[in-house]
Amino acid sequence: MAFIFDLDGVIVDTAKYHYLAWHQLADRLGIPFNKADNERLKGVSRVQSLELLLSLGGRRISAAEKQQYLEEKNRQYLSFVHKMTTDEILPGVPALLDFLDANHIRYALGSASKNAALILQKVGLYERFSAIVDGNEVAQAKPAPEVFLLGAQKLKVQAQDCVVVEDAIAGVEAARAAGMKCIGIGDKEVLGKADIVFKEMADIDINYIKNLINND
Ligand code: BG6
Ligand code: MG
């Protein structure tokens, strides 16, 4: 048994920074963009997020312009990331990682973000993960299972022995496609395909985790 954690919106509160950075770009392009639209961008790669944003505005632009907007969004996003401290580890995360450590359960990171290593370093969690898979390593982004399958491979465990923790629809679908169990973090209505959904990381029932471990 092993765990694979998503990063943005699960380990750290960066989902809000992605939203702010996309919103700023959407405003500049005159594309209406709200929190419901943003749900579809969660867990999705940077380039696919831009495609989704442009499709919301029915916009078609050149490859050069796309590149420029991707860089602009990431610059804006990184301006938030550079200010991050350990304060932005989501409540409930340290306790859960401590519990897994105490029970000798290994865990990896499985993130679509190309900024994952930087963010983990900023919040002082980089060294704690047994393996890290991020957006620099995978060819197919979530909802494809690749990121999680590679995580299982790095942890040297079978896919069916992995539990994924995810806050995004695309991530829950990726976990399912990988044949893994999935704990959703957020709204039940949005993450219905997960095995169980907790509103926030701090709400994860440790007895549920204990049962998962004991029934392994
Ligand atoms: C995911 C986020 O973790 O990473 C997405 O949920 C984001 O919102 C994606 O687009 C890619 O992140 P980055 O940092 O490479 O732009
Ligand atoms: Mg996420």
CA–centroid distance, 42 to ligand 2, in Å, is: 6
Instruction: Mark whether 101 is an active-site residue.
Output: no
Q: State the chain's mean pLDDT as an integer.
A: 97
**Measuring from each residue's beta carbon to the nearest atom of ligand 1, which residues come in under 6 Å?**
7-8, 18, 41-46, 49, 74, 111-115, 135, 168
DSSP result, 120-162: HHHTT-GGG-SEEE-TTT-SS-TTSSHHHHHHHHHHT--GGGE
Domains, the chain, with CATH or none: 2-13+85-214 (3.40.50.1000), 15-81 (1.10.150.240)
Does the pLDDT value for residue 192 go beyond 90? yes
| Distance of CA 9 from the midpoint of ligand 2 (Å) | 5
**For 30-82, what is each residue's pLDDT tens digit?**
999 999 999 999 999 999 999 999 999 999 999 999 999 999 999 999 999 99
pLDDT per residue as tens digits for the range 80-109:
999 999 999 999 999 999 999 999 999 999
CA distance 125 to 11: 9
pLDDT in tens, 133-169: 999 999 999 999 999 999 999 999 999 999 999 999 9
Confidence of residue 215 (pLDDT cuts 50, 70, 90): confident
What's this model's pTM, rounded to 2 decimal places? 0.95
Quick check: is 27 catalytic? no
Q: What is the pLDDT of residue 76?
A: 97
Lookup: tokens for 102: 């105490």
Select from 6, 13, 14, 18 the residue to mutate for testing ligand 1; criterion: most ligand atoms less than 8 Å from CB.
18
- Residue 73 parent element (H or E): helix 63-81
